[in-house]
Structure 1
Amino acid sequence: MIPQEIKKQQGTYRAHRDKNKDVEFDKVESISPPTFIKGESKKAFDILVGELGLNGYGLLTTLDAPAITLLADAYGEYIKVSKTIEKEGLVIEDYNNRNAIVQKPHPLLSYKRQLFKDITLMLKEFGCTPASRSKVEFKPASQVDDNDFNF
């Protein structure tokens, strides 16, 4: 389901079709990261909340905190895996069943690929990719006028 604010910005919002018209979600001024979010994950969390929250597009509600947390946590994990692969190399040496040394792709490469897919999907959900942003004309919260949504 497309959020009501995005439908309004696209010009496709129809009040008579809105099943949740009596349910209002308050935009939040800030969302604090959970205590387990640290390092690169916390930086990503703060950037996302800043850009998507009141400092940016004003799209976040308290319901978005878990999704932002998942995205930031996956991004932090992606950075850790990338650093490990950079340190250890793309190829590792292992022993086969005949006790001979063979070279194999680093086992974390497939995990990194999966993290990339997961992060990309979540970024699309928040409109954080060029393609997903091109589908919606966003205005930063400071430029939104209440008259923009009167039909």
Structure 2
Amino acid sequence: NEHEPKPPSGVPPTPKHFDKQGKYWFKRMADELDAIGVMSQLDARALELLVEAYTEYRHHCDTLEVEGYTYRTETQSGDVLIKAHPAAIMKADAWKRLRAMLGEFGMTPASRSKVNAKGPDAVDPLTEFMNARD
């Protein structure tokens, strides 16, 4: 879109409320996105949501690795039930949010082709052809 607003590019400041892991991933992802020309100062909040979803997802993965995906419990009558660990459900929810945010930044193979990276101004071949005809 040639009339699209052009916000200032560059890596936004890391949110102060992030823990050590959040700060690491914010900086790393921001640098990676900036290197391919899709990061701007206005993307700070969207990147913050992406990093929050990612760190939450990793936290649930770590919990499940230690505690397992299921747990046993007994009913009042003594029957044994095997239930899904609550972290498994939270992990699935975090994955949905993470996947959506990865797509917004073109960080999956399928979504990468839909993101326009800022690159050097290229000449549009159709415009060049039409101008040559005049």
State the TM-score, normalized to the length of structure 2: 0.79
1:98 to 73, 77, 100: 77
Structure 1 residues 134 and 25, CA gap change in structure 2 (3 angstroms): closer
* Contact 1:39/1:76 (<8 A) preserved: no
- What's 2:8 paired with? 26
Answering whether residue 102 of structure 2 is matched by residue 120 of structure 1, we say: no
Give 1 or 2 for the bigger CA radius of gyration.
Answer: 2
1:95 is displaced (CA, Å) by 2.6
Q: State the identity %.
A: 31
- What's 1:49 paired with? 30
The one-letter amino acid paired with 1:50 is D
- What's 2:131 paired with? none
The one-letter amino acid paired with 2:96 is K
Deviating above 4 A after TM superposition, structure 1's stretches of 4 or more consecutive aligned residues are: none
1:43 is displaced (CA, Å) by 2.3
Unpaired runs of 5+ residues, structure 1, are 1-12
Unpaired runs of 5+ residues, structure 2, are 128-134
Structure 1 residues 104 and 51, CA gap change in structure 2 (3 angstroms): same
Q: What is the RMSD of the two structures over their aligned residues, measured on CA atoms?
A: 2.2
Q: Matches of 2:100 and 2:123 in 1, distance apart?
A: 29
Deviates more, 1:57-66 or 1:99-108: 99-108
Alignment of 1:34-113 (within 5 A): 34-53=15-34, 56-113=35-92
Q: Matches of 1:84 and 1:102 in 2, distance apart?
A: 21
State the TM-score, normalized to the length of structure 1: 0.71
